Amino acid sequence: MKNWPLWEVFIRSKNGLEHRHCGSLHAADANMALENARDVYTRRMEGVSIWVVESKHVVASNPENSGELFEPAKDKVYRHPTFYDLPDEIKHM
Amino acid sequence: MKENLIKYILGIADNSLILGQRLSELCGHGPSLETDIALTNISLDLLGQTRSYFQYAAKLKGENTTEDDLAFLRKERQYLNALLVEQPNGDFAHTIVRQFLFDGFHLLFLEQLRTCADTQLAAIAEKSIKEVKYHFRFSSEWVKRLGDGTEESHEKMQVAINDLWIFTNELFLMTDAETAMHREGIGVDLESLRADYQEQISEIVEEATLQIPETKYWQKGGKQGIHSEQMGYILADMQYMQRAYPNMQW
């Protein structure tokens, strides 16, 4: 079992919401990964739907590049939609 | 009638209780974190079902009987579970095959019980079916995976089936209480489940490239309270706290 590949697990907590990453686990194949995800991550009614993706298929950004990737956004507060007055009647914003 | 009904309920409950207890022994010892959690999930499902049955039986018994009395304070001969569920965990193959052979029966049994004339039992069955469907799916999946896996896993699975198959016949032998309850429209006709059981189990065993052994002599007795040597150890473990500290509570 030591050579079972790693899988990333995504759970949708309610219909209408998006799947969110909740953790990872080991499994021999996709089917087992789904079953394991059900047992490990949905024991407390966390979800109504599960996605699993083998971790090797996730392409990740390199932490070494975070300077050029993320820092330029730091001083651009005008990209946040916080400069508008919202009418009180609008909910869920 | 009431006496038989209580016996009938205890018979069903004890199968779940003892198998649940067996699986709980694996908590923290499963072959991998994922299977460890899966097996203890199943254990908790079974213990949850057991509680529903015991609460009902305790109410019928009256005299301030509680579910804990039924779980912890009976003597070995008063437990009515089939021999299959008390067999030791052994290696993972034995744990899985024991589970698989019981789950197949359990599911067929509950599908009948949910239509029975006793509304309380029918309701417990209805609720349990979803859990047991998953148990059967889980154990079948592992039977196929290991049976049709490597040479070593195949061999271990075949040994487990050869060891445990002799306990399956007892599941379908009707005790007096079961026959009496069947006449009342409450109990399940166990003999009628036999053909479906054979078919479903054989199908998966075949897919797993394994074989059901030819058996002439079957083991029985648990349902009458005559248990294998395993049972004493299980009860010693399970009852220790209540015996050492009577009436203790968490």
Nearest C-alpha in B relative to A2: B32
Evaluate whether residue A49 is within a structural domain: yes
Evaluate whether residue A71 is within a structural domain: no
Task: Return the CATH fold of B2-244.
Answer: Ferritin (1.20.1260)
Evaluate whether residue A44 is within a structural domain: yes
Residue B156 to chain A, least CA–CA distance (Å):
16
Put simply, whether A39 touches B (Cβ < 8 Å) is yes
ipTM: 0.72
Evaluate whether residue A18 is within a structural domain: yes
| DSSP 8-class letter at B51 | H
Task: Determine the Cα–Cα distance for residues B213 and B230; give it in Å rounded to an integer.
Answer: 23
Return the CATH number at A52: 3.10.20.520
Among B45, B12, B222, CA closest to B112: B12
Q: Do A39 and B34 touch (CB under 8 A)?
A: yes
* Domain count of the fold of chain A: 1
Give Rg (Cα) of chain B: 18
Span A52-74, pLDDT tens digits:
999 999 999 998 888 888 888 88
Nearest C-alpha in A relative to B146: A28
Report the pLDDT value the prediction gives residue A90, as an integer from 0 to 100. 84
Q: Do A26 and B34 touch (CB under 8 A)?
A: yes
Domain that holds residue A2: 1-56
Evaluate whether residue A92 is within a structural domain: no
Provide the pLDDT confidence category of residue A93 given band limits of 50, 70 and 90. Answer: low
Q: Quick check: B70 and B154 in contact, CB under 8 A?
A: no
Span B125-150, pLDDT tens digits:
999 999 999 999 999 999 999 999 99
pLDDT exceeds 90 at position B54: yes
DSSP H or E stretch at residue A22? strand A19-26
Q: Which residue has the tokens 């018994």?
A: B61
Report the pLDDT value the prediction gives residue B182, as an integer from 0 to 100. 96
Evaluate whether residue A34 is within a structural domain: yes
Q: Measured between CB atoms, which of A27, A32, A43 is closest to B41?
A: A43
pLDDT-wise least confident of B8-12, B32-36, B80-84, B119-123: B32-36
Evaluate whether residue A79 is within a structural domain: no
Put simply, whether A52 touches B (Cβ < 8 Å) is no
Q: Where are the domains of chain B?
A: 2-244
Put simply, whether B130 touches A (Cβ < 8 Å) is no
**Which of residues A2 and B76 earns the better pLDDT score?**
B76
Global confidence as pTM = 0.88
pLDDT exceeds 90 at position B112: yes
pLDDT exceeds 90 at position B248: no
Average pLDDT of span B45-73: 95
Q: Measured between CB atoms, which of A4, A28, A39 is closest to B38?
A: A39
Evaluate whether residue A90 is within a structural domain: no
